[in-house]
Structure 1
Amino acid sequence: MSIQWTLIAGCMYTELALTFLLLLPIISPKRWHSFFKSRFLASIYKMSHVYFMVFLAVLVLVFLDAIREMHKYSGEIKSPTHGHAEHLDVEMQHHMRLFRAQRNFYISGISLFLLFVLHRLVSLISLLAVSYAELEAAMKQAKSASDAARQLLDQQDPTAASKDISAELTQLKEENKKMLAQKEAALKQAESVNREYDRLMKELATLQAKEEAVSEGGKKDK
């Protein structure tokens, strides 16, 4: 294995180890987040996007090179150009090169895949740690608010509270009396209107009777 592919294989094993560590349940996301924000990684974190893109470009290049080598040696095996005597040795060499190309393909492909997995894991762990911190802050704030409300209730004077309640009851009684008085006045007014209506109806009936009597008298005179 050449130095290039030895380094790629080393990166793959390193990525596997880091993925395994990040997936361990014994280490909380809060600890990982504090480690990511440490002084050691603070300077690296500023340029992490650039490092990620450079490493991604290198892995993509070696991955494409491995694909090219695979197609190259697989084509040579399908179309041999040597004689029968040398055919076996040449075929073994081509198979060995094809095996190396396939090995490099899997190494670079797995390294490329694990790079995205690590990037996503780090993002999710940081987000989870921030969510935990916000939840703890919200719980503390709610607890402090409930404690403050409880203290205010404990410090409140019961006599003052009873005075306020009695004042509200007195006000409600007065409003009830006013409403009853208004109701009685409305009933009296309705009764007077009803009596006036009856009187007017009687007068109307009397006038109609007189009018009928006058009209009948006029007919008799004729």
Structure 2
Amino acid sequence: MTLQWTFIAVFMYCEIGLISLLLLPFISASRWQRIFRSGLINKLAGYSNIYFNVFIAILLLLFLDAIREVRKYAGPTSEVDLKHNPESEVVAHMRLFRAQRNLYIAGFALFLWFVIRRLVTLISSQAQMVAQAEASQKQAKSASEAAKKLMEEKENLSNLARADDTDVDAVKREKDLAQELMDVKDELNNARAALKKKEVDFDALKKQSEGTNKEYDRLLKEMDKLQSASDGDKKSN
């Protein structure tokens, strides 16, 4: 295997390892978000689009070159009579096998590069939605406590107002508290509605992430089948 194909193979194995880490269930999205926001990652993130496009260009060129090699060695040849030259036939089949192997390596490396980009985006979005949901829950809890406190104060003022009907200030204060209570209730309802919306978005993102995981597992199985078929062809030849 030449140097560039060795590099692509190592790169593909690193991609598989990184995807396996991203799919570990005991590492939460919030923890991954803290890792993504670390100092070193933030420095590299400024050039992430450049790195992404450069690697896509490299992998795409190697993938197209692998396709060219497969078509070159898969087609009929007129230079050598393969039937009367067994050694040349073995060499031709060996070159075809290597071209097919390089095609699989470049293709899967290119595909996994897109998968990694998508997984990182989904994990970041999930972490942001979890943080927003927690903030909405805290806001709803604070609004509930404020509403409970105002209701108790209103009840106390109502008792004072019944004891002294001429106390105009107490009545006015009671009205003000009633208005504040209505405002707090409106704020509580808005917070609950926002929290419900975040939960719905979070469920949709979770289902999308599960679909991506299933597609990744299916592609890994196809890759194993292709590698098994390639090994079988090599042994038979």
The question of a shared fold, defined as TM-score above 0.5 by the shorter chain, is answered with yes
Q: 1:110 to 1:146 in 2, by over 3 A?
A: same
Tell me, in whole angstroms, the C-alpha distance in 2 between the residues paired with 1:64 and 1:139: 52
Pick the aligned partner of 1:137 from 123, 135, 138.
135
Give, as a single letter, the amino acid of the residue that structure 1 aligns with 2:77: S
Q: CA deviation at 1:7?
A: 0.5
How many percent of aligned residue pairs carry the same amino acid?
48
Match of 2:182 in 1: none
Pick the aligned partner of 1:123 from 118, 121, 127.
121
Q: 1:35 to 1:152 in 2, by over 3 A?
A: same
Pick the aligned partner of 2:149 from 139, 148, 151.
151
Question: Residues 2-151 of structure 1 correspond to what in structure 2 (within 5 A)?
Answer: 2-75=2-75, 78-83=76-81, 87-151=85-149
Tell me, in whole angstroms, the C-alpha distance in 2 between the residues paired with 1:45 and 1:84: 54
Q: 1:161 to 1:68 in 2, by over 3 A?
A: farther
- Secondary structure of 1:31's counterpart equals helix
Query: For the Cα contact (< 8 Å) 1:80–1:87, is it kept in 2?
Result: no
Question: Residues 185-200 of structure 1 correspond to what in structure 2 (within 5 A)?
Answer: none
Tell me, in whole angstroms, the C-alpha distance in 2 between the residues paired with 1:6 and 1:20: 21
Q: 1:105 to 1:161 in 2, by over 3 A?
A: farther
Match of 2:200 in 1: none
Tell me, in whole angstroms, the C-alpha distance in 1 between the residues paired with 2:111 and 2:160: 71
The CA RMSD measured in Å over matched residues stands at: 1.8
Q: CA deviation at 1:86?
A: 5.9
Give, as a single letter, the amino acid of the residue that structure 1 aligns with 2:32: W
Tell me, in whole angstroms, the C-alpha distance in 2 between the residues paired with 1:85 and 1:131: 66
Give, as a single letter, the amino acid of the residue that structure 1 aligns with 2:146: A
Match of 1:217 in 2: none
TM-score (normalised: structure 2) = 0.65
Tell me, in whole angstroms, the C-alpha distance in 2 between the residues paired with 1:109 and 1:127: 28
Tell me, in whole angstroms, the C-alpha distance in 1 between the residues paired with 2:82 and 2:19: 50
- TM-superposition CA deviations, 1:161-189 (whole Å, max 9, x none): 6459xx9xxxxxxxxxxxxxxxxxxxxxx
Tell me, in whole angstroms, the C-alpha distance in 1 between the residues paired with 2:82 and 2:54: 47
User: What are structure 2's unaligned runs of at least 5 residues?
Assistant: 172-237
Tell me, in whole angstroms, the C-alpha distance in 2 between the residues paired with 1:43 and 1:67: 36
Query: For the Cα contact (< 8 Å) 2:12–2:105, is it kept in 1?
Result: yes
- TM-superposition CA deviations, 1:43-90 (whole Å, max 9, x none): 001110110000011000000000000001112xx2343257862111
- Secondary structure of 2:85's counterpart equals helix
Tell me, in whole angstroms, the C-alpha distance in 1 between the residues paired with 2:62 and 2:82: 35
User: What are structure 1's unaligned runs of at least 5 residues?
Assistant: 168-222
Question: Residues 164-179 of structure 1 correspond to what in structure 2 (within 5 A)?
Answer: none
Tell me, in whole angstroms, the C-alpha distance in 1 between the residues paired with 2:35 and 2:83: 63
TM-score (normalised: structure 1) = 0.69
Match of 1:172 in 2: none
